[in-house]
Amino acid sequence: MERLVQILVDAVSVGSLYALTALGIGLIFGVMRLINFAQGELITFAAYTLLALFGLPVPVMIFGAMVVAVALAVFTERAAFRPLRNADPTTLLISSFAVSFFLQKLLILAVGSRLKGLDFLPALGHEVELGGIRLQLLQIVTIVVGVVVLIALTWFLKATRLGLHMRAAAEDFRMARVLGVRANSVIAMAFALSGILAATVSCLIVVQTGVVQPRMGLQLVIIAFVGTVIGGLGSLSGAALGGFLVGAGSILLQASLPPELRAFREAFVFIAVALVLLFRPQGLIPARGLRERF
């Protein structure tokens, strides 16, 4: 019984992490039809910011990571993606790989490719007892952070003027502009939000693994991207659900597969993805009105 609850909590916490990552990808895709693999480097840069600020008070470290991720997100949009705004999605995709590789190599050049230990918030590694079941504090914190960020993002999108503009632009960008919605503000805001999501994920993953390395973000983003595809590209609830399912699913597989098959759990995840795409090619929660951007 205890083991089962522990596995479920682990699955939900890893699912939350991937849901947040997938949301970052989904937000940008929604308004720009861009699959931004450079989201991974936002996570990596935020992690290295934590490393650089190590020793300062924790809130300062977290704030620093947020600022760096948001600034980098907005800067990549200005420098790399804005000039290509009317290009076709393939061009955008390739340029996002270019940005991703560029930032990754830049980091390797600056700090080397070696893995570095970072003992961030070690207190979260302790176990707590909830109703007679021992759970890792970090997993509970991850779930709580995931839920809070999800609620805050939903509130922003539903209750604010800019949130309304973003939803309108995601559905029909040209019509939104005809009504006066500013393309630049909407896109910059989407990138800024993806930066906040990336920094959040970064803090949690650093606590979990205790290390930083230049490729850490890209690995996360590729799996999370699979999640957004399962959920339905262009739909935010789909991205959150898809990311969650991929993350939670891989933990459940890890726990339920016989030991000799565990090394192949990713293969099982991708089989599940192939099945979803076979039977629901639009994803679990298809996006409405995937029109061309203008």
Binding site for another protein (CB under 8 A): 164-165, 167-168, 171-172, 174-183, 288-289, 294
Distance of CA 166 to the CA centre of its chain: 18
What is the C-alpha to C-alpha distance for residues 170 and 184, in angstroms, rounded to an integer? 13
Give whichever of 171 and 192 is closer to another protein, judged by the CB atom.
Answer: 171
Is-contact 21 225, C-beta < 8 A?
A: no
What is the C-alpha to C-alpha distance for residues 56 and 263, in angstroms, rounded to an integer? 39
Q: Which of 30, 28, 44 is nearest to 192 (CA)?
A: 28
**What's the closest the beta carbon of residue 87 comes to another protein, in angstroms?**
16
H or E segment at 156? helix 137-159
Is-contact 225 103, C-beta < 8 A?
A: no
What is the C-alpha to C-alpha distance for residues 27 and 194, in angstroms, rounded to an integer? 7
Give whichever of 99 and 176 is closer to another protein, judged by the CB atom.
Answer: 176
**What's the closest the beta carbon of residue 196 comes to another protein, in angstroms?**
24
Give whichever of 91 and 184 is closer to another protein, judged by the CB atom.
Answer: 184
Give whichever of 78 and 167 is closer to another protein, judged by the CB atom.
Answer: 167
Look at residue 36 and give its three-state secondary structure: coil
H or E segment at 76? helix 58-76
Q: Which of 294, 292, 158 is nearest to 234 (CA)?
A: 292
Strand partners of residue 136: 127
Q: How is residue 187 written in tokens?
A: 């896109």
What is the C-alpha to C-alpha distance for residues 175 and 168, in angstroms, rounded to an integer? 8
Give whichever of 178 and 275 is closer to another protein, judged by the CB atom.
Answer: 178
Is-contact 184 122, C-beta < 8 A?
A: no
Q: How is residue 135 written in tokens?
A: 């759970």
**What's the closest the beta carbon of residue 29 comes to another protein, in angstroms?**
16
Give whichever of 147 and 179 is closer to another protein, judged by the CB atom.
Answer: 179
Give whichever of 177 and 215 is closer to another protein, judged by the CB atom.
Answer: 177
